[in-house]
Amino acid sequence: MAKSKINLAAQPQAIEAEQAVLGSMLISKDAVSKSLQWLPASNYFYKDAHAKIFSCMIDLFDKGDPIDAISVVDQLKKKKELKSVGGAYYITGLSESVPTTANVEHYAKIVLEKYILRNLIEVSHEVTKNAFDDSQYVGDILDDAESKIFNITEKRLRGEGFSHIDPILHRTFEELDKIASKPGSVTGVASGLMDLDDITSGFHSGELIIVAGRPGMGKTALALTMGRNAAVLENTGIGLFSLEMANHQLAMRLLCAEGRVDSHLVRTGKLPKNQLKNLSLAVGQLAEAPIYLDDTPGMSVLEIRAKSRRLKAEKDIGLIIVDYLQLMSGPKGAESRQQEISQISRSLKNLAKEIEVPIIALSQLSRAVENRSDRRPQLSDLRESGAIEQDADVVIFLYRPWVYSQEDEDRGKSEIIVAKQRNGPIGLVEATFIDRFARFENMAAFNATVEDENVFNA
């Protein structure tokens, strides 16, 4: 960020902390590694002289040369910058002014915080300037501001680096103890589809689950079914971001699925009076469920991240669903849509880890599926969509043969294909899709009720 645009004297700075970091690096190899973890570039330093000194240290570090007062002075001489930083006397003074290197990380974090604050001031200055420019579209101004804030946030989230395994083992054992105390084999958030849960053992904290398929396969219906099952049957809080459908449309689909009512009859006002009771009962059931909907269109990664954090803090949700990934907007500046999708999927994975809940993100597939005789999706169909396959812990494909065959014998059949699972097996399970209810059911449960009614024909 350029310093000349605003009053330099007013900018956040910590000259003493910068001196302590540089002095520690001149004394200790460990201090060099610890400092670079938090301060990866010279522009993190406010004082130009300190930035030049740090840049020389990075050069020496990259070459594997020792970092001490003599080496740094020599490097500055080669760059003809020794005089501008205060001479050799200033360099030696840095190391002599540090009583101990034990606090170098603390000082490095202070330098980082001041750098972030300067970045925020610079961005706010630019946003204010753009806001006064009548020639700019307000949406572009917001996108630009959001992108810049997102970039600053990423700098803050550098992480604490290595942790000793001892406390990690204790936390892991506590989790295992909780898992062991649960009845059955489902240790995560249950989808309610038993055969699928047998393979995944539920969706687990920090996982990114991609549910992908061609249009018309029922991705939204599957997501709503899994979300409904978790909320109604397990009382798990659900946050559902719908970038495609409005909240009232989602509510209608949930109601019809819950009440086993034909959605077409509801929309056309032809629902028999005796089925209104089913809808009324469904309203009562769903109204008590911890389901939270957000239908803001074109949401960005930053918006979903902020809203998810707040929802987690306020409602302690256990599952997030995003419908669907390709309708999100990524950080500005991506060179291609593929790169933008990659940034979005990586951000969703980071969010899942950060707030410790599983995230189900729906995804479209390329038309390449249509060009094969066997139209079941494959992981290669997902690779055209950036780094989704890499970021996902679980990849689930949805395939309904009836979409292509239109044969009565295929109606209702659906295949849920677990094509990737980072911590478990892959496999294919069958479920039943009742299209007029937009509802997925366990095959066994469906077979038990099919004798009593024809679920496919009104």
**The one catalytic residue among 81, 244, 354, 430:** 244
Beta strands 359-364; 394-399: pairing state: unpaired
Distances (CA, A) of 150 to 158, 308, 313, 332: 13, 15, 20, 9
Let me know if 160 is a catalytic residue.
Answer: no
Q: How many CA atoms lie within 13 A of 434 on its CB side?
A: 29
Active site residues per annotation: 244
